[in-house]
Amino acid sequence: MTDKRIAAIRLRGMHDVNPDTRETLKSLRLLRCNYCVVLPDTPSTRGMLQRAKDRITWGSIDDATYALLVSKRGEPYSGRTEGYHERKFIEVQGKRIKPFFRLNPPTGGFERKGIKTPKSIGGALGARKDINELIRRMVG
């Protein structure tokens, strides 16, 4: 990977969610808790992440962690591949895989204040610098 990428993980469910935030989560393909997606680092992606900041955590992912995600949690895509269906898979290392990764809850749990508070005050939500360490604990 030569360009910069962002990994986003959904931590909270859909109860009492603003409809705009709900649509943003669908656009990001974060359909369930503990789903992870890898997105290009663009201003529009950053805006969508900021809109859903009360439900997700995100950060820059390195190449080694991305390779670990693909090898351990990349599910093969076996559906149609032409037309509209081209958006339903990503191609990595010659393999077609689903565009999201299903992860386990992290070994050792989330941060001290849990998944209801932002990272800046000791919780797990929002932007973070240690997303690679969290993903390694969730791939387990």
CATH number of the domain bearing residue 51: 3.30.1390.20
What is the average per-residue pLDDT within 26-54? 94
pLDDT-derived band at 21 (thresholds 50, 70, 90) equals: very high
List, in order, residues 6 or more apart from 80 with CB less than 8 Å away.
Answer: none
Q: What's the pLDDT score for residue 1?
A: 43
Q: Which range marks the domain in which residue 24 is found?
A: 5-139
Q: Round the average pLDDT of the chain to a whole number and report it.
A: 88
Q: What value, to the nearest 5°, has the Cα angle with vertex 17 and ends 11 and 22?
A: 80
| Domain count of the fold of the chain | 1
| Span 59-95, pLDDT tens digits | 999 999 999 998 898 878 877 666 665 567 788 877 8
Distance CA 50, CA 18 (A): 14
Q: What is the pTM of this model?
A: 0.88
Distance CA 33, CA 12 (A): 6
pLDDT-derived band at 114 (thresholds 50, 70, 90) equals: confident
Q: Which of 28-32, 33-37, 90-94, 128-132 has the lowest mean pLDDT?
A: 90-94
pLDDT for 116 beyond 90:
no
What is the average per-residue pLDDT within 93-120? 88
Q: Which of 23-27, 104-108, 113-117 has the lowest mean pLDDT?
A: 113-117
Q: What value, to the nearest 5°, has the Cα angle with vertex 8 and ends 3 and 12?
A: 175
